[in-house]
A and B are shown apart, each in its own frame.
Chain A
């Protein structure tokens, strides 16, 4: 009876971990790919400006910079959004004019795709390593905590001696 209760507890513990993992993955997937609904033109301009590097600045987007070319590109983005051009088409305009490095987000494909993949793989490895370490500590702790028959006999004898005295 006690054994089946322990087995049920173990299964329940695993189930909660699996459920937590499913919820975490689902939240990440929805967060990464979920559609937040249609954007206004102003929101699109702000988003696009945030992904285009100011060609004259160091590490600033055209949304952040106030140099002349950043202002001109912001105005140009506004015109193109109003004209109904797609986000990709607008980004391509600046890539054609200023080169690939004008886009602040690296390519998801090809060699640069490793920039996206490596951190995910590293995070996965780290989680697996932590999981393994916890498991090992759990086993070690269980070994330390489990008393042998000799230990039990010794404790019983000491108790009996104390009761007699």
Chain B
């Protein structure tokens, strides 16, 4: 073996060790990325499901004061909406239907305006119907408290004050679906979650 090749052998071994080290670091990064939370868009967020519903008090479109705590013992369908949101317009007739079905029982609809003006919200209800309380004060805080990312979003609160279900997007929310969940939850009481795309 020549002197040069004898000198090159430990150098090659060093390069191999360095290559293995670099490969190990890369592999570690790949594992980290694979195991990390890859939720980049917040289109679906159900942290609130199963949790006690955050209380809120504020003015409604009619000038009354609504306090969620006073609704304990009733089912509350909390709907986040905006007049500019197409999905909200699509689902609204279903909410009107639900309100008509439950005029005389313990299901209460409440709307929360999201990124909109009071005048536009008033026009929205005048155009599409519905006479349930619509919150127009501190609505940003209420939306954040319920983990809203975009409208429409609808939250179902059980008589116990716990959030039972959240719907994201307007296509899945129908009077029948809400009634079905209320019926199921009345028997089993198990929180569930469903989601679709939202915001318009």
Instruction: Please indicate whether A and B come from the same complex rather than being unrelated chains.
Output: yes
Give A residues with C-beta under 8 Å from B.
Answer: 53-59, 67-69, 71-73, 75-76, 79, 93-94, 96-102, 111-112, 114-115, 118, 121-122, 125, 129
Determine whether the beta carbon of A56 is less than 8 Å from that of B37. Answer: no
- In the assembly, what is the distance between CA of A75 and CA of B100, in Å? 36
The interface residues of chain B, by DSSP majority, are classed as: loop
Determine whether the beta carbon of A68 is less than 8 Å from that of B150. Answer: yes
Determine whether the beta carbon of A98 is less than 8 Å from that of B143. Answer: no
Determine whether the beta carbon of B141 is less than 8 Å from that of A97. Answer: no
Give B residues with C-beta under 8 Å from A.
Answer: 18, 21, 25, 28-29, 32, 35-37, 39-43, 45, 47-48, 82, 114-115, 140-141, 143-151, 199
Determine whether the beta carbon of A56 is less than 8 Å from that of B28. Answer: no
Determine whether the beta carbon of A100 is less than 8 Å from that of B37. Answer: yes
- In the assembly, what is the distance between CA of A72 and CA of B116, in Å? 11
Determine whether the beta carbon of A55 is less than 8 Å from that of B141. Answer: no
Given contacts A73-B144, A76-B141, A76-B144, contact A57 B28 (CB under 8 A): no
Given contacts A71-B115, A118-B25, contact A112 B141 (CB under 8 A): no
Distance in Å from the Cβ of B61 to the closest Cβ of chain A? 19
Residue of A nearest to B37 (CB): A101
A69 surroundings in chain B (CB, below 8 A): 42, 115, 143-144, 148-150
The interface residues of chain A, by DSSP majority, are classed as: helix
Q: Count chain B CB atoms within 10 A of each CB in A56, A112, A118, A125 and give the residue with the most.
A: A56
Determine whether the beta carbon of B25 is less than 8 Å from that of A56. Answer: no
Partner of B32, one of A56, A67, A115, A129: A115
- Some 24 contacts from A to B, beta carbons below 8 A apart, are A55-B42, A56-B150, A57-B41, A59-B40, A67-B199, A68-B82, A68-B115, A68-B150, A69-B143, A69-B148, A76-B141, A97-B45, A97-B48, A97-B146, A97-B147, A98-B47, A99-B39, A101-B39, A112-B36, A114-B28, A118-B25, A118-B28, A118-B29, A118-B32
A93 surroundings in chain B (CB, below 8 A): 144
Residue of A nearest to B43 (CB): A56
- In the assembly, what is the distance between CA of A9 and CA of B150, in Å? 69
- In the assembly, what is the distance between CA of A121 and CA of B143, in Å? 43
- In the assembly, what is the distance between CA of A70 and CA of B4, in Å? 65
